[in-house]
A and B are shown apart, each in its own frame.
Chain A
Amino acid sequence: MADRAAPNKPADPHQGPAASAARELAQLQQQAEETRALLARLQFDVAQAQGHLGSLQAAQLLEANEQLVLAMLRSQAEAETVAMDIAQRELTQELRLERQRLEAENRQIQESSRLKREFLSNMSHELRTPLNAVIGFADLLMSGSVPAGSSKHGEFVGHIASSGRHLLQLINEILDLSKVEAGKLAFFPEPVDLPQLVGEVTGALGGLASQGGLVIGTEIDASLTGIVLDPTRLKQVLFNYLSNAIKFTPDGGRVTVRARAEGRSFIRIEVEDTGIGIDAADQSRLFVEFQQLDSGLNKRHQGTGLGLALTRRLVQAQGGSVGVRSTPGVGSVFHLLLKRDAGSSTAAVATGLRRCLVIQDDLADQARISGAITETGFQVDSALTGEQAVVHARNQPYDAVVLDLVLPDRSGLEVLSAIRSHGVSRESPVLAVTIGAHPTATFAIADVLAKPIRTEEIVLALSRLDGAGPSGAKVMVIDDDPVALELMEATLSGMGASAVSFRDGRQALREIEQQRPDAIILDLMMPGVDGFAVLHALRQMPAWRATPVFIWTSMLLTDDEYARLARSARAILNKGGGALETLLDDLRAWRPAVASVLMGIDP
């Protein structure tokens, strides 16, 4: 072995670097010779073929040609490398986004399944409790251990009947709740005579009130006219507030229903009682499903635990809000704020010659939609293709744009981004018409209407675009999603508010003193300092404790989280669906409050 592996052995002339270099050199020399020969032959050929050129010229020509080919090859190789780099980077970015999206989706699915389990378990409990009384007392009566005709017998039959009714109410409320949740609850707004409607509700509850010697008073502002709301749902909500007030007010107390205008476009209805009141700590739980408070009175008047939650959802689904203030031992005031005119198109739209662009490739739809919009007082321009639409939007400032998201030449979203990117209509509100859902696009769009489209819906949606809006206010938007930020900025500036955006909660908190926003729109799910932490931090800072915060999230909230947020947020809204509209309404509703706060602090 030793003789084969000696490390210092002199180099073998047939091995080692010198030898391979020599071989390489020989190869190169041979290649060079071959190339020279080839070139010579080419030179010869060219010289022969183009006899009028001198051999020197041909050689120069060849050399130049050769260099050109080499340069081309080099740049092609470079271009390929660059292209691969870009593709690689794009792919990485895409994968990263995809992963984030999947992770977020996964979190949501887990959260929603936990909520469903919780709901189901609560549901099972709530349904079994009255069933227990129905079946138990019925069995007891059948067993013969309670003599027929005895007072106990009558009492137990009464228990069966009232438990059955309780069960029925529970089931109705569950159905309503699930309909609101699925967005399936239809509202049918019509002109409402408020004093008459309130009278009907107080009349229905008059018996219950007089049993406890309660007085029900009403104070309705006589100037409050022009109310267009769904009367059935309004009655349902009022009935809920009033029956609660009656339940929790001791004998001889007083319950008052008040209604007055709030701003130009909202009504505020209040139900005040002189009842037992609610601790501040419990107030935020009131409007949450199955969160009955621990109170002796509550047990005597068993409720379903769903009434106020349903009230909240019914009002929110109509773009309104609910709330309560209460002093234990003194009484409570429950209120709701609703848009005065939920449905009519006449008030908002018939205000002169405003221009609307309708982008729709189907001629019949185009005519139908344009006709309906023209009737409401718009001057309508039509575009059958995306190309036409972009040209129109560039030359003419529109008050509204109705856009079909599926167009023959360009996708509707492309057209939207072209309209949004420049031109005089870049801030025009856009109503999108679509077959499927385009969740990522909804933030750039004032409203999304599903096909087949009804003209009333479009007119209604157009009327919703109106409103005073929080013009002049400065709104801080905190969201880690750049698309959501950009679109919220565009929406806010369309309302005349200035937006200042942050993708990071920590940075937003750092800069709040410099920015001094009038309101904050806050996403919850963010890496690092999330929305909960931002809200908590804000409420610790005396200067910002009272700043209205609008939670704007795609996260499904647990009851606890909802209750926690409800304590300090102005509104909690889910991204997607009709929530943008609700957010805009909330911003409009908030505006007067901000004006007064600003006047108080900062003249």
Chain B
Amino acid sequence: MTAPRALVVDDNAMTLELVSFVLAADRFVVQTAADAAAALAWIPLFRPDVILMDVQMPGIDGLALTRTLKADPATRHIVIVAMTACAMNGDEGRMRDAGCDGYISKPIEVATFCSKVRSCM
């Protein structure tokens, strides 16, 4: 089995570094993107199996990007796992409605992060 390919989208540089390090340590092939535009540019080139998607980003946010990807037949199959620092009631529902396949809240749990991601795939 080939290594799964993960695209990490987050506007916070430290989160990008942390998440990509944790995924890479679990034998994911990782690419990062700091905003929605960068993510859209990488997707056809990198062909990710899973996207770790920050929800609250300036400009196009994670929910809007998820809706766009899930509406496009070319990208619909990509598993999207929302990562969010919003932990208020109703947030998870909004993410599922937008088409996210899974949901992980920040701060992330390093020990269980990768198994959570795999369970969504």
Which residues of A are interface residues toward B (Cβ below 8 A)? 120-121, 124-137, 139-140, 143, 145, 152, 159, 163, 292-294, 296, 298-300, 302
Other-chain contact of A140, B12, B85, B88, B110 (Cβ < 8 Å): B110
Given A124-B88, A125-B85, A136-B18, A299-B12 contact (CB < 8 Å): yes
How many Å lie between the Cα of A319 and that of B111 in the bound state?
Answer: 52
**In the bound complex, do residue A133 and residue B15 qualify as a contact, i.e. CB atoms below 8 Å apart?**
yes
B73 within 8 A of A: no
- Please name 27 pairs of A and B residues whose Cβ atoms are closer than 8 Å in the assembled complex, sorted by A: A120-B88, A124-B88, A128-B107, A129-B12, A129-B85, A131-B106, A132-B12, A132-B14, A132-B107, A135-B108, A136-B15, A136-B22, A136-B110, A137-B14, A137-B18, A140-B22, A140-B110, A143-B110, A143-B111, A152-B21, A159-B17, A293-B58, A294-B35, A296-B34, A298-B58, A299-B12, A299-B34
Cβ of A124: which chain B residues have Cβ within 8 Å of it?
85-88
Determine how close the nearest CB of chain A comes to the CB of B87; give it in whole angstroms: 6
How many Å lie between the Cα of A121 and that of B106 in the bound state?
Answer: 14
Cβ of A300: which chain B residues have Cβ within 8 Å of it?
13
B101 within 8 A of A: no
Nearest residue (CB) in A for B84 is A125
B45 within 8 A of A: no
Interface of B is mostly: loop
Nearest residue (CB) in B for A130 is B14
B92 within 8 A of A: no
Given A135-B107, A139-B110, A140-B21, A128-B14 contact (CB < 8 Å): no
How many Å lie between the Cα of A302 and that of B12 in the bound state?
Answer: 8
B49 within 8 A of A: no
**In the bound complex, do residue A125 and residue B13 qualify as a contact, i.e. CB atoms below 8 Å apart?**
no
How many Å lie between the Cα of A140 and that of B85 in the bound state?
Answer: 19
Chain B contact-residue range equals: 20 to 34
Which residues of B are interface residues toward A (Cβ below 8 A)? 11-15, 17-19, 21-22, 25, 34-35, 56, 58-59, 84-88, 106-111
* Most chain A CB within a 10 A radius of its CB, from B35, B87, B110, B111: B110
**In the bound complex, do residue A128 and residue B87 qualify as a contact, i.e. CB atoms below 8 Å apart?**
yes
How many Å lie between the Cα of A32 and that of B76 in the bound state?
Answer: 103
> Which 6 residue pairs of A and B lie closest in terms of their CB atoms, listed nearest first?
A128-B85, A139-B110, A294-B58, A132-B107, A133-B14, A132-B106
Nearest residue (CB) in A for B86 is A125
Determine how close the nearest CB of chain B comes to the CB of A266; give it in whole angstroms: 35
Cβ of B110: which chain A residues have Cβ within 8 Å of it?
136, 139-140, 143
Cβ of B14: which chain A residues have Cβ within 8 Å of it?
130, 132-133, 137, 159, 163
How many Å lie between the Cα of A523 and that of B17 in the bound state?
Answer: 50
Nearest residue (CB) in A for B25 is A145
Determine how close the nearest CB of chain A comes to the CB of B106; give it in whole angstroms: 4
* Most chain B CB within a 10 A radius of its CB, from A129, A137, A292, A302: A129
**In the bound complex, do residue A121 and residue B86 qualify as a contact, i.e. CB atoms below 8 Å apart?**
yes
Nearest residue (CB) in B for A117 is B88
Other-chain contact of A128, B13, B17, B35, B106 (Cβ < 8 Å): B106
